[in-house]
Amino acid sequence: MKKNSFRQIVLCAALMLSGAVHTQAAGPVRIIPQPVQMEERAGVYVLPEKIVIGYESALQAQAKYLQELLVQSTGRMATLKEGKAKGDIVLRTDSAGLKAEGYTLSVTPKRIEITGADVNGAFYGIQSMLQLFPAEIYSQRWQRQVAWEAPCVEISDAPERPWRGMMIDVARYFYDKEFIKKYIDMMAMYKFNKLQFHLIDDSGWRLEIKKYPRLTEVGAWAGPDEKRLGGFYTQDEIREMVEYGKVRGVELIPEVEFPAHILSAVVAYPWLSCTGLQHEVPTQHFISRDLLCAGKETTLQFLQDVLEETAELFPSAYINIGGDEAVYTRWESCPHCQAVMKREGLSKASELQGYLTNKVAEMMKKKNRTLIGQVYEVQGADAFNSEDYATAIAVFSKGYEADPRNTGMALNLAESYFRSDMYQDGMKICANISSLNADKYAEAIAEAQAKMNMYTNNEVAKLQMANDYDGIIAMAEQLDDAAMAQKITMQASYGK
């Protein structure tokens, strides 16, 4: 065959394929995470040209979410109709027989019905339904020549773990509001429900605080004018992101670091530190010796003001305060800090961190907020390295006895290791917690075991370790199941 003839045949084939309707490859139904119960049935549901979405009033926001997604990707017309039993796709809630955030999904050739135990459960039913359609369903543009079909299934599902979280650090590298929304969308796709929002660090202050405007006027920016880096979120933008997450079942948990990792605030207000010296917001990460001064009443007032405004913006019951990598040399030589140590009967400067944290925790109790952070924050605990598991467990046990909500202290440390390369360290801490007296620490042991299971047995945990879309795609490529890997890759690609 002549080369030109071969080219003509290839060109003709390409033209023929361009007009073909894309269909999903036949095979077993794959939903991530895998539902508790799923039964495949004969037949398919074909999305009609004119879609009616029926919903009960409590699910109006979720129905609108589904409407917008279907219209933009399929090009179909979708209308909303309030009413539990009316529509091609019906959304309702009914807690009978379902765990919190659970749902049932019924796909027949005639219609799709989703019943959630609550609003979040109904939303997760929507996510499972979307995964049944071709991955182009997630596109932000109209995808022509796609067969919008879903296999018939009966699903009953509920999450094993109440806390399914990810973390994003916008303090060191700022991402705008629209990026955060995309991040929330990707979390929601796989039914994650907690986003730790790391807003404050040495490298930048990203949260507008009305009472202290220089935090964002000065502390949000680093570098000279021509190479200026940074940014921040206005309070209106925070409210918008919180509401965006709420519709998608994602709770935003603010992280406001102290007493270390807060140089951005010290630059804006030098009186917050022990020395009062003027600094610059760093363009490269390093561990600053300039902590908030634990001996000044003005420091406590500053933290109260900042965290009260934070609590007004974030309805979450939790505020993360970090607390790691504090260098105590300034406190050791500060007359204000030394005076507090003498008054409180503290023998080491490191104990001031527990003192400061306890003061702030009492303030936040009045706002019905619980502080979570590293174990360094516990009264009387010294900083320790990842090998000192006995200290971690001792601190955990002491904190748990004082208040069971302090479970988060040791488990947060384990979580930080899981997010780094020190997976084994995190596993050892959880394993040690799991070996404690079951009657005494039943709730905490269950949570520790859950973390161990999440990071050893659950395929979705591999996705949790990724902090961007390309990372999710890369991790998908490592899965043994080629069909599942392909679906994750397509879904993540459309999320970009």
Angle at alpha carbon of residue 253, lines to 384 and 425, rounded to 5°: 30
Residue 198 falls in the annotated catalytic set: no
CA distance 244 to 246: 6
**List 118, 257, 261, 447, catalytic entry:** 261
**Residue 405 DSSP label:** G
Rounded Cα distance, 363 and 376, in Å = 19
The four Cα atoms 69, 70, 75, 79 give a dihedral, to 10 degrees, of -110
At residue 400, what are phi and psi to the nearest 5 degrees?
-70, -40
C-alpha closest to that of 258 among 210, 329, 205, 220: 205
C-alpha distances out from residue 472 to 95, 127, 475, Å: 33, 17, 5
Please name which of 199, 129, 195, 188 lies closest in space to residue 157, comparing C-alpha atoms. 129
Question: Among residues 113, 201, 377, 415, which one is catalytic?
Answer: 201
Contacts of 334 (CB under 8 A, 6+ apart): 274, 293, 295
What is the spatial distance between Cα 19 and Cα 144, in angstroms, rounded to a whole number? 9
What region, left, alpha or beta, does residue 210 occupy, with left being phi > 0 and alpha being psi -120 to 50 degrees?
alpha
Closest CA to 309 of 419, 233, 231, 407: 233
3-class DSSP string for 129-176: HHHHCCHHHHCCCCCCCECCEEEEEEEEECCCCCCCEEEEECCCCCCC
Concerning whether 297 is annotated as a catalytic residue, the answer is no
Nearest of 357, 268, 287, 282 to residue 320 by alpha carbon: 357
- Tell me which of 240, 325, 459, 468 is the catalytic residue: 325
Question: How far apart (Å, rounded) are the C-alpha atoms in residues 112 and 90?
Answer: 6
CA neighbours closer than 13 Å in the CB half-sphere of residue 357: 32
Our answer to whether residue 40 is catalytic in this structure is: no
Beta pairing class for 194-198 and 200-201: unpaired
Q: Please, which residues bridge with residue 222 across strands?
A: 229
Q: Which residues are part of the catalytic machinery?
A: 201, 261, 325
